[in-house]
Amino acid sequence: MSFREESEPEDLRKPFLQTGSWYRMGSRQSSIMGSSAQIIRDGSISVMLCVLIVALGPIQFGFTCGYSSPTQAEIIEDLGLSVSEYSIFGSLANVGAMVGAIASGQIAEYIGRKGSLMIAAIPNIIGWLAISFARDASFLYMGRLLEGFGVGIISYTVPVYIAEIAPQNMRGSLGSVNQLSVTIGLMLSYLFGLFVNWRVLAILGILPCTILIPGLFFVPESPRWLAKMGMTEDFETSLQVLRGFDTDISVEVNEIKRSVASTGKRATIRFADLKRKRYWFPLTIGIGLLVLQQLSGINGVLFYSSNIFEKAGISASNVATFGVGVIQVMATGVTTWLVDRAGRRLLLIVSSSGMTLSLLVVAIAFYLEDVVPEDSKFYSMFAILSLVGLVAFVISFSLGLGPIPWLIMSEILPVNIKGLAGSIATLGNWLTSFVITMTANLLLSWNSGATFTIYTVVAAFTVIFVSLWVPETKGRALEEIQQSFR
């Protein structure tokens, strides 16, 4: 029996804040709601609307990551910063994100997925304002830290929320919307950076979170979180809203209840408990994928892409950077379509293999540029080769290693350790990202070819890691995936 059949025969009830669902409908369609009620009854549309709203968070994430690329020359000139000081500015987002990552799991567990996104939006808004009105490096640094804190929470919470609300057959595609939104945010920062100065660009960065906050009042809370908290009636209501009011949710309700009962909805998990295989194995996979994602050098490339293109001899470096952003959005869009068809594991292997080859091409191109004169025809040829290699690298990354680690992390972690383990995995990602973004400019100044050789070795190891340890999660319920690690 579905919740719709059990609910009281009222067509509309008052708002209830704990799930954020501002409606509760019975089996009869309300004449007041009209066409809106019909939209809500279509479960797939209801879920997609929820995903589109929370996707504003990853757009903010991407805008933050991309901001440091088109603004580097302007900020250095206006505020008199050195390259090292600007590298600190770029990497401080990762420091803030590490703090946010540590807090993200516990915040999401105690106040829910929606509440944590609301908390994340506020420091993002304040951070952008601080950057926009900065007169010296201190305000830049403070704003970047605040942005990073919000992004750290967003990077954990959004993929978890999407995985917990998505139907089994759509979870991969909807989960990939997280990374697609990040790439859209990156592209928008590159695009607007062509036309506005760095202060106006910071003001534009406020918009995603400004829209996200009111949008969160119109989406239901994660039914799996509500079930874990023992809020049975609200859990069933939330699930019914997400699946559509004409859908029988009894089978899914029972699966979630059994999963919560077997893990103990209020059990306290400590670090010592993570030594059990059912916990450490999925956690190792989650951390491994998220760390390797960053060690590939992707954030070094995206944060300082304009500078990299200049070193490669590309004159219109900001335009080239925007072009890369567009290509990344398109490639991630393809992944969103493919991930529930081809599977997570295959896409990860194809992605990391493509990254290995393209990074090797970039490394060779930079090595050869160092040994030929700049007025040689071969120099311009190598510049084009490095550009092609970087584009191929971004495409390969977007086809798998970009979106899928966050998706797999949200799928494989058992519900009773998701807060603690998710925080650890997200922290690992941002700690590695900090190291990469802090060192990328310095390494490129030292030796561009050697820098990309290091990234090539990491990408090659990723192929091995995925082949040996990462399971396929396509077409399996979250409870089934987590049960397989017992």
For the stretch 185-235, pLDDT in tens is 989 998 999 899 999 999 999 999 999 999 999 889 999 888 888 888 888
Q: Judge whether residue 373 has pLDDT over 80.
A: no
Residue 114, class by beta-carbon neighbours within 10 Å (0-12 exposed, 13-18 middle, 19+ buried)? buried
Tell me how far apart the alpha carbons of residues 363 and 361 are, in angstroms, rounded to a whole number.
5
Closest CA to 345 of 179, 248, 462, 477: 462
Rg (CA), the chain: 23
Closest CA to 323 of 306, 347, 338, 340: 306
Q: Judge whether residue 313 has pLDDT over 70.
A: no
> DSSP letter at 8?
-
Q: Where are the domains of the chain?
A: 3-25+36-483
Tell me how far apart the alpha carbons of residues 96 and 74 are, in angstroms, rounded to a whole number.
23
Look at residue 307 in the predicted model and tell me its pLDDT: 67
Q: Tell me the whole-structure pTM to 2 decimals.
A: 0.79
Length, in residues, of the chain = 486
Side chain identity, residue 395: I
Look at residue 199 in the predicted model and tell me its pLDDT: 94
Tell me how far apart the alpha carbons of residues 298 and 247 are, in angstroms, rounded to a whole number.
42
Q: How much is the average pLDDT of 90-119?
A: 89
311 vs 24, higher pLDDT: 311
Closest CA to 485 of 155, 259, 146: 259
Ramachandran class of 362: left when φ > 0, alpha when ψ lies in -120 to 50, beta otherwise: alpha
342 vs 204, higher pLDDT: 204
Q: pLDDT class for 4, splitting at 50, 70, 90?
A: very low
Q: How much is the average pLDDT of 53-58?
A: 95
Architecture of 3-25+36-483 per CATH?
Up-down Bundle (1.20)
Look at residue 44 in the predicted model and tell me its pLDDT: 60
Burial 132-153, CB ≥16 within 10 A → b, else e: bebeebebbbbbbbbbbbbbbb
Q: pLDDT class for 384, splitting at 50, 70, 90?
A: confident
Instruction: Give the contacts of 111 (CB within 8 A, at least 6 positions apart).
Output: 119
Write the DSSP string, 307-334.
Answer: HHHHHTT-SSHHHHHHHHHHHHHHHHHH
Write the DSSP string, 33-97.
Answer: TTHHHHHHHSHHHHHHHHHHHHTHHHHHHHHHHHHTTTTHHHHHHHHT--HHHHHHHHHHHHHHH
Phi, psi at residue 413, to the nearest 5°?
A: -75, 125
Cβ atoms of residues 47 and 171 within 8 Å? no
- The CA-to-CA distance between both ends of the chain, in Å, stands at 30
Look at residue 9 in the predicted model and tell me its pLDDT: 37
Q: How much is the average pLDDT of 446-455?
A: 88
Kindly give the residue spans of alpha helices, DSSP state H, lying in 133-169.
137-165
